Structure 1
Amino acid sequence: MEPVILARTGTSAPTRAATAWAADEARLRGVLLRVPDDPLRVPGTPSVIVCGVSREEDALSGSGSPWAMLVGAAHCPVVLVPDGLATSRHRTGVTLGVDARAPSDASLGLAFQSARLRGVRLHAVHAWALPAGAADRPFGVPESDRAAWEDHEVQLLCDALRPWCEKFPDVHVLADVRLFRPAEALLHCSERAELVVVPRDSGTTAWEVAARVLLRRATCAVAVVPS
């Protein structure tokens, strides 16, 4: 199996948080932990690349940011560990952001694998919005219409999760459909998560925006997974 890679970080607090997280991940996977000078030039494809992020630093914005370049160039998941990482026995879940209309197999695979390795529940969150123009109806949206739309979204999410539930039958999955923007949905659902997984290049930037919001406000690791 490929090693877990720890990227060098610039300040002490993110370094400590990222090092501890990477060591735990390597132990769970039963692989080596490596700390190369350039994580993008390691032979093969690492299991994950782990790096620490300061709360003052928006890790995914600005083309000159080293972590923006790392996330954009990596061919494997990049786990961003905030310096405000909180660990607790109450943080026992993995939360996954899913675009049920264009599900990312790579992010689904990492989320299911991470939940199985940790022996925890996977909380799969699909964010949706009312159809265009629905909010402008003069008498509002009938409850029957909203219920039908939500049922459709639930079915989309179940369809996206089904093959992975069959592949990982030992992972308990909570399928959750939220009438929120992705960032709001994940913030609501990640309070007790020890890891949040979001896709990259999934046809929309909404989940990547959610990752930025999480890094500023959440206290758990955020994995950004290339699709």
Structure 2
Amino acid sequence: MIGLLVVTAVPAEAEAVRAGVSDPTVTVVPVGVGPAVAGAATARLLALAEAAGRPYRGVVSAGVAGGFAGPVEVGGTVLGTHAVAADLGAESPDGFIPVDELGMPAELLGAGRSIAADPHLLAALGTALPAATVGPVLTVSTVTGTVAGTTELRRRHPDAVAEAMEGYGVAVAAAQATVPFVELRTVSNPVGPRDRDAWRLREALAALTKAAAALG
């Protein structure tokens, strides 16, 4: 049977997902931190599965995330409508310029800076997780840790519900392989000034196990 590929950044997240999944066709793999390594590793896993004649029916980027205060609280679950490359672009005296506004030819932009989740996967998970907060999830290479940084992100992405480090890379790999993609996150901390003492990783991982039951 052909199932889902679920990729996480670190082993603790993978273990939390595995603890909640009962479907033996769901494969869970920790692939590393950040969009580059996550994208490369996911692309390799998809290519190997396709070469073996057993392509995955979907890819889920799963794990913990920072949540924007208001849309989602610590311990809450998030479903990403879009994976957004929030820091892909250029600085300028007038502020940040997103990559798709730099005047490059469209063919050089690839998937652009925002990749939509597969509507069928998103709808299925939304039905199984009715309490989840649904909205764009930002992918960053540097986690936001200041009030100024948080304010700027909220200004540029007012609908964003969470921030993580792998979703966009995984989404690009899935798009290149024409495999459906969705992002599932649980919130361990608010986006804002970095305060490790305020993180609730244990609670977020427990919530991830509970949410992972929706994957099968």
Q: TM-score range by the shorter chain?
A: 0.3 to 0.5
State the TM-score, normalizing by the size of structure 2.
Answer: 0.36
Higher Cα Rg: structure 1 or 2?
1
Bigger relative contact order, structure 1 or 2 (CA pairs below 8 A, ≥6 apart): 2
